[in-house]
Structure 1
Amino acid sequence: MLFVADDGDTGAGDILGTGALMPVAPGVYELTKMGVRPEAQGSGAGSLLLAALIERARALPGIETLFLLTSSKCRTAIRLYERAGFVHDAGIMAAYGATYTRCDVAMRFPLA
């Protein structure tokens, strides 16, 4: 699990967002639990966090697939994922989409 914090003027290190990489099968990881506090959205915290999660995934030995599942209602998040290089993937949806009731979007990050 990774966190993004705001050191700001106080140096308090308030947590602005979090995300995790969850193994689901050998060589397959789901980017999950990613979220940024509403007051920090639009600050770049989500992009920073997502980039760190992708780099962490690339450093994992034997990883072949990195994917995420979400809802089409999360349009801002989907645009963030697309800008980072995630692509919509019907195979991921077929394999893992039933995991979450509200999931209707599956995306994969091309690690190669």
Structure 2
Amino acid sequence: MGTLNTMKTNCHISCVFALLLAAQLTIAAKPLTLGEHGTQRELFVDDHLIAAMTGGVKQHLNQPEPREVVLTTDAPWEGNTSAYYTIFQDGDLFRMYYRASHWDTEA
């Protein structure tokens, strides 16, 4: 095992390398143009993909409306917390996977 100074130096070198790598990946990333989105749907929460707005057009983001409960995770094997809900279509079926676990509130 190395000395504390050696370990700090290695950590600093690793951090600098990671920053340089991240900067290189950012520089190398080619931004998408408007024509490259094709039929892909986009949620316009800013003006990044909007070239121009004319004729009194405004952006408006609606607030969510509380509705009925869609899903409850109250089975004993689900624990007291659930996360990572994923819903996908499998043929004619819709499947949902999620992670259920127990969080120890006393710890």
Does TM, normalized by the shorter one, top 0.5? no
* Higher relative contact order, chain-length normalized (CA < 8 Å, sep 6+): 1
Q: Which has the higher helix share?
A: 1
**TM-score, structure 2 as length reference:** 0.20
Q: Which has the higher strand share?
A: 1
Select the structure of larger CA radius of gyration: 2
